[in-house]
Amino acid sequence: MSDFFDHPVVCNAGPILGLSRVNQIDLLLRLFPQVILPREVVEELLLIPHADTPALQRQLSAFHRLDIPCQPERRLLADLDLGEAAVIATAVKRQITGILMDEKRGRRIATLVYGLQVKGTCAVLVAAKNRGLISAVRPLLETMRARGYYLGPQVVTEALRLARE
């Protein structure tokens, strides 16, 4: 069985925002052969007030950005925001089995309805530690949360357990 991190993924805004708060967006590029951002996700990221938008735009240029709107099915848009729906629809259309998303509802729909593998920001940090790309997960999670990125207490506890911290 191959590792989730050996394959291209479609990424939602959440993991990029979380990792940007601790200057670790590059982990995505170091862990995955390709990170695909649907146009809807890029637009969402550029609309969010961010302290250093030019820096974020430079970082986003390293990802595979789709220029054509994805146009997700109505049933996806009924339950999810446009970015989450676009991530799932893009993965399904491109036959990519893995997505990066933190939002609970989107993760549940991606997994149960579409059979996608889903990982979030915490899993990225644990994988980065396991591969020697970072020395510890805890300080990054603490900083992320202190800078306003929401991560549920159970998710954090599980990430720290997996990171052996």
pLDDT of residue 1: 42
pLDDT of residue 57: 72
Dist. CA 103–CA 12, nearest whole Å:
9
**CA distances to 97, 109, 128, 157 from 101, in Å:** 13, 11, 17, 18
**Which of the residues in the chain have pLDDT under 70?**
1-2, 49-55, 69
Do strands 35-37 and 9-11 pair parallel, antiparallel, or not at all (unpaired)? parallel
CB atoms within 10 A of CB 37: 24
